[in-house]
Amino acid sequence: MATLGEIAAVSGTRLQGGDRSAVITGVASLDRAESGQLSFLIHPRYQHYLSTTRAAAVILSPNDAAVCPVPTLIADNPHVAYARAATLFEPVAEAHEGFHPTAWVHPTAQIAADAWIGPHCTVEAGAIIEAGVQIGPHCVVGEQAIIGEASRLVAQVTICHRVRLGRRVLVHPGAVIGSDGFGLALEQDRRWLKVPQLGSVQIGDDVEIGANTTIDRGALEDTVIEDGAKLDNQIQVAHNVRIGAHSALAGCVGIAGSVRIGRHCMLGGGVGVAGHLTIADRVQVTGMSLVTQSITQAGVYSSGLAVEPNRLWNKISARLRRLDELFRRLTALERTIKRQDGSV
Amino acid sequence: MATLGEIAAVSGTRLQGGDRSAVITGVASLDRAESGQLSFLIHPRYQHYLSTTRAAAVILSPNDAAVCPVPTLIADNPHVAYARAATLFEPVAEAHEGFHPTAWVHPTAQIAADAWIGPHCTVEAGAIIEAGVQIGPHCVVGEQAIIGEASRLVAQVTICHRVRLGRRVLVHPGAVIGSDGFGLALEQDRRWLKVPQLGSVQIGDDVEIGANTTIDRGALEDTVIEDGAKLDNQIQVAHNVRIGAHSALAGCVGIAGSVRIGRHCMLGGGVGVAGHLTIADRVQVTGMSLVTQSITQAGVYSSGLAVEPNRLWNKISARLRRLDELFRRLTALERTIKRQDGSV
Amino acid sequence: MATLGEIAAVSGTRLQGGDRSAVITGVASLDRAESGQLSFLIHPRYQHYLSTTRAAAVILSPNDAAVCPVPTLIADNPHVAYARAATLFEPVAEAHEGFHPTAWVHPTAQIAADAWIGPHCTVEAGAIIEAGVQIGPHCVVGEQAIIGEASRLVAQVTICHRVRLGRRVLVHPGAVIGSDGFGLALEQDRRWLKVPQLGSVQIGDDVEIGANTTIDRGALEDTVIEDGAKLDNQIQVAHNVRIGAHSALAGCVGIAGSVRIGRHCMLGGGVGVAGHLTIADRVQVTGMSLVTQSITQAGVYSSGLAVEPNRLWNKISARLRRLDELFRRLTALERTIKRQDGSV
């Protein structure tokens, strides 16, 4: 619960047509909000719900404010304003301190006095857990790993030996940081010999890492995720990769070894990037595309193909197989015509 | 072990040519079955094994029964009949009650008397574990989460706070239900601001969720998986998604935020669905296809391309890059011909 | 730390121009190596760093040795030689024996005297843990599972009931071996009925399994991963699959049910293989390709499409939809020309 005045202050919005002391009980979408609830208009897709909303107040842009039938909280960037306002309605996660009785912490680990080590956690020799860190149930923090100030491991997270997390890093359940890279040398007899993975992983400040995402340790130097980068669920980051600051990777992305991704990049869901490539700053790649060469210019790139009815698609893909033939037939025809044109 | 009579009763099949009291010791495929073993014929692919099978009895359709050299258990739907019969040969998982001594259960959690909380589990404040629930080793059940009657979490499962599971839900190891959605607002300075994820996840009855699958909590309203939906391994379901009843999603599928998938849909392995789309009931999408627009008609849809020898594929994909040029050249040629036709 | 002489012995290389007693303190890439560090030249991509390297010695091929300004360790296969040398610089993982006090081991489990069961592990009834096995924190070993000699489960690994691992198997965090296959029978009323998964999983010797990879148990017979196969992170292996010896699968690969993959195969990242196919020995499939038919010949296969600038790609994919029309227009034109040619 919060008053409209508090919401305006936290969200940095200008309240118009409402009472600063009015109490708001929760948040809901425009079409579902009941009296007493806060709503928001971020995407034009939902604008048609505005005229009939029953929300107590709506966070929106100056342009949309004119046609809103209820009190407004006006922001140049309503998405950011909403994100700030919504923090007032999050369930307050009780901050814990100390160790849960079922946690196991090696005597040489250094744990800040106000940090929390949750149920059934394991913190191994020489690990450092800095101030304000919250480690949820069933996490493993390996030998000499460092968890920076105010970071949070939600649950079932594995941080391998010597991995270093910055400050305010948020890691979701099932994520694995610092597993061995996939380094293999082919022997004479075509067996694979494991290449020791001597590097580690370095995660910057304010990074978020999604559920069941995996980030491998470097073969030699460290795998690096720079400040403010955001990784969704089920992402695979191979060894020696560097992901630039404030880049965002959607679910199921796979990044092969030694790739360098610039700052402020956005990779859509399921994108794959082949090994040893460099991607410039501010590059966007749309969902399920494959990057096989370095990208040197900011811009939007794609190679995903959208579904068609199966019968049509079967025809198309059969034709595609004959595309080379098609070009050759066309070229032959062009020559014939040219000859005819000459002869006519 | 079970008799042919018991198998016929459980599977709802008609025994023909066999002795109801004959003892069956196990199940095997047609070509591998030894005397005393039950087999089945579901797919025509395996029909040629029928004439030489040494199985003690075969579950099959009326049409196939005529040419079967051994006793038959006849069913209109042999696959369903087999699934029922096979339950007689599952190792009986010992039903446990109470708490394993290494489990940690918050005093305010409510645990049904006949439920089981396995080794190294954590059940947090206010969680509700209903009758007959079996929670295997190393699971986390978050604050105020509800695990419905007779559900089973196999091992290493994470159920986040306030997530609700229906009855007879089966969750495989490593699955994460209720992790934060990937909600980010872009600030003026191009940093990402986290949008609080205030919703939860609601799982219907008889849902199965595969190993290492992740289902994010809603940003505002709940992410919903309806009754009888089946999700394979390594699937990513983003926030606010709704998956209709009795739909089946194969491994590695990725569903972006706010997608609505109808009832009785089937998505093949590795399929991707872009955000905010609606997919009608009874839609099938074949493996590794990408859905970028809503699908309003039941039917089969595809966009996957099958492999070719690499050299040929390199030619094809180089040609594909010039497809626009090809169309333009063809159109020019058509005009030339038309002109010639007119002039001739 | 190791001397050049020790490194030459372990790596099987010939030292040239250096002092066997010189002490090497670590390993680094050619451009970063400081005095006292070992480096290597495996890929021509890095050859230009050779002339200016400050490394104490470089592992390289005979051809490259001629132009190396520092002592050389010469090998016919420098990658293999480096992999061997690098083992000298791995942090020595302290070998443990016995049970961590927080581990829970069922009284009927058989644990070799020199095996180690780490913090918060669970080993269930009848499991067998052979000599020299190291089980890291938070692993689950199910009923009657067998972990072969000298194998290592790094952390948070789930080995389900009756799964058998060979010798020297290495399993990375979050991997799940032996989860139920996705076996479903469609009932009359279009509900899904679970098909009991009665098989198990059999893992050969010297197999490596990546973080968060999942391998389902067989429906009837076992899923099999043969000796020396290497699986990267986030891979999905469905029920009844067989992966041949010494094959290597990169991250995010998905293998549908009952597929047989040959020996010495290499699948690139994100490759998908449809169900019931057979892939011959020594087949390579490049990243993000889809295999929908059996492959009977060794060779390299592809179907991945590389990104283009989004505007160009939108044109291409719109044209692709009309590829069938294009072929028909071309054929019509060819007929017209032929007729004209006849008539002229």
Task: Evaluate whether residue B306 is within a structural domain.
Answer: no
Do both A234 and A331 map to the same domain? no
Residues of B in contact with A84 (CB under 8 A): 193
Q: Which of A28, A82, A306 sits opposite B303 (nearest CB)?
A: A306
Do both A63 and A102 map to the same domain? no
Residues of C in contact with A301 (CB under 8 A): 307-310, 313
Question: Which of C1, C77, C252, C266 best probes binding to A when mutated, by most A CB atoms within 10 angstroms?
Answer: C252
Predicted confidence band at A337 (pLDDT cuts at 50, 70, 90)? Answer: confident
pLDDT at C208: 98
A325-336, pLDDT tens digit by residue?
Answer: 989 999 998 888
Contact B104 A87 (CB under 8 A): no
Contact C233 A212 (CB under 8 A): no
Do both C157 and C61 map to the same domain? no
C-alpha A275: how far from chain center: 20
Q: How many residues does chain C have?
A: 344
Do both A320 and A247 map to the same domain? no
Do both A291 and A333 map to the same domain? no
pLDDT at A343: 64
Give the count of beta carbons closer than 10 Å to the beta carbon of residue B325: 12
Q: Which helix (H) or strand (E) holds C63?
A: helix C62-65
CATH number at residue A20: 3.40.1390.10
Burial of C3: CB neighbours in 10 Å, binned 0-12, 13-18, 19+: middle
B182-238, pLDDT tens digit by residue?
Answer: 999 999 999 999 999 999 999 999 999 999 999 999 999 999 999 999 999 999 999
8 A C-beta contact, residue C104 and residue C92 = no
Nearest Cα to Cα of residue A188 among C246, C88, C298:
C246
Do both C111 and C241 map to the same domain? yes
CB pairs under 8 A between A and C: 228
Residue B43 has pLDDT above 70, yes or no: yes
Query: In B187-291, where do the E strands start and end?
Result: 192-194, 201-203, 208-209, 214-216, 223-225, 230-231, 236-237, 242-243, 248-249, 254-255, 260-261, 266-267, 272-273, 278-279, 283-285, 290-291
Residues of C in contact with B33 (CB under 8 A): none
Question: Which of C79, C134, C288 best probes binding to A when mutated, by most A CB atoms within 10 angstroms?
Answer: C288
Q: What percent of chain B has pLDDT over 70?
A: 99
Predicted confidence band at B343 (pLDDT cuts at 50, 70, 90)? Answer: low
Contact B198 A323 (CB under 8 A): no
How many angstroms away from the CA of A113 is the closest CA of chain C? 23
Among all chains, which residue has been given the structure tokens 């390199």?
B314
Q: Which of C104, C301, C315 sits opposite B102 (nearest CB)?
A: C104
Contact B317 C336 (CB under 8 A): no
* Chains interfacing with A (3 or more CB pairs < 8 Å): B, C
Do both A124 and A257 map to the same domain? yes
Contact A316 C321 (CB under 8 A): yes
Contact C285 B307 (CB under 8 A): yes
Active-site residue list of A: 239
Residue A89 has pLDDT above 80, yes or no: yes
Give me the mean pLDDT over the A316-323 stretch. Answer: 93
A109-144, pLDDT tens digit by residue?
Answer: 999 999 999 999 999 999 999 999 999 999 999 999
Structure tokens at C194: 């679970």
B161-198, pLDDT tens digit by residue?
Answer: 999 999 999 999 999 999 999 999 999 999 999 999 99
- Assign 3-class secondary structure to C305-327: CECEEHHHHHHHHHHHCCHHHHH
Single residue among A50, A70, A89 that ends a domain in this structure? A89
Residue A344 has pLDDT above 70, yes or no: no
Q: Which of A155, A230, A306 sits opposite B192 (nearest CB)?
A: A230
Torsion-angle region of residue C157: left (phi > 0), alpha (psi -120 to 50) or beta? Answer: beta
Residue B344 has pLDDT above 60, yes or no: no
Query: Which residue from B minimizes the CA distance to A87?
Result: B196
Judging by DSSP bridges, how do beta strands A23-24 and C158-159 pair with one another? unpaired
User: Choosing from C239, C246, C264, C276, which is the catalytic residue?
Assistant: C239
Do both C315 and C273 map to the same domain? no
Residue A30 has pLDDT above 70, yes or no: yes
Judging by DSSP bridges, how do beta strands A2-3 and A23-24 pair with one another? antiparallel
CATH number at residue C271: 2.160.10.10
B98-153, pLDDT tens digit by residue?
Answer: 999 999 999 999 999 999 999 999 999 999 999 999 999 999 999 999 999 999 99
Measured in degrees and rounded to the nearest 5, phi and psi for residue C116 equal -130, 130
Q: Which of C29, C138, C314 sits opposite A220 (nearest CB)?
A: C29
CB pairs under 8 A between B and C: 226
Task: Evaluate whether residue B172 is within a structural domain.
Answer: yes
C-alpha C178: how far from chain center: 18
ipTM of predicted complex: 0.96
Contact C329 B330 (CB under 8 A): yes
Do both C42 and C191 map to the same domain? no
d(CA A294, CA A301): 12
Query: Which residue from A minimizes the CA distance to C27?
Result: A220
Do both B163 and B236 map to the same domain? yes
Q: Which residues pair with C72 in a beta bridge?
A: C16, C58
Predicted confidence band at C97 (pLDDT cuts at 50, 70, 90)? Answer: confident
Give me the mean pLDDT over the C258-270 stretch. Answer: 98
Q: Looking at the 3D structure of chain C, how many domains does it have?
A: 3
Give me the mean pLDDT over the C156-181 stretch. Answer: 98
Query: Which residue from B minimizes the CA distance to C174?
Result: B174
Question: Which of C108, C290, C336 best probes binding to B when mutated, by most B CB atoms within 10 angstroms?
Answer: C290
The DSSP code sequence of C230-285 is EE-TT-EE-TT-EE-TT-EE-TT-EE-TT-EE-TT-EE-TT-EE-TT-EE-TTEEE
Q: Which long-range contacts (CB under 8 A, 24 or more apart) does B122-126 make?
A: B122/A102, B122/A118, B122/A119, B122/A120, B122/A137, B122/A138, B124/A137, B124/B161
Contact B252 C272 (CB under 8 A): yes
8 A C-beta contact, residue A212 and residue B176 = yes
A185-209, pLDDT tens digit by residue?
Answer: 999 999 999 999 999 999 999 999 9
The count of C-alpha atoms lying within 13 angstroms of the C-alpha of C215, restricted to the half-sphere facing its C-beta, is: 36
Which residues span the domain enclosing C334?
310-343
Q: What percent of chain B has pLDDT over 90?
A: 91
Q: Which of C27, C172, C269 sits opposite A198 (nearest CB)?
A: C27
8 A C-beta contact, residue C167 and residue C181 = no
Interacting residues of C44 by C-beta distance below 8 A, sequence separation 6+: none
Task: Evaluate whether residue A147 is within a structural domain.
Answer: yes
Task: Evaluate whether residue A306 is within a structural domain.
Answer: no
A210-219, pLDDT tens digit by residue?
Answer: 999 999 999 9
Please tell me the least confidently modeled range out of A200-204, B261-265, C41-45, C215-219: C41-45
8 A C-beta contact, residue A215 and residue A178 = yes
Task: Evaluate whether residue B61 is within a structural domain.
Answer: yes
d(CA A255, CA B335): 47
The DSSP code sequence of C78-137 is HHHHHHHHHGGGS--PPPP-EE-TT-EE-TT-EE-TT-EE-TT-EE-TT-EE-TT-EE-T
Structure tokens at B245: 């009843």
B3-42, pLDDT tens digit by residue?
Answer: 999 999 999 999 999 999 999 999 999 999 999 999 999 9
Q: Which residues pair with B68 in a beta bridge?
A: none
User: Choosing from B79, B239, B246, B276, which is the catalytic residue?
Assistant: B239
d(CA B200, CA B179): 9
Active site residue B239: yes
Residue C344 has pLDDT above 60, yes or no: no
Task: Evaluate whether residue A250 is within a structural domain.
Answer: yes
Torsion-angle region of residue B150: left (phi > 0), alpha (psi -120 to 50) or beta? Answer: left
Contact C230 A184 (CB under 8 A): yes
* Chains interfacing with C (3 or more CB pairs < 8 Å): A, B
Do both A6 and A153 map to the same domain? no
Do both C154 and C248 map to the same domain? yes
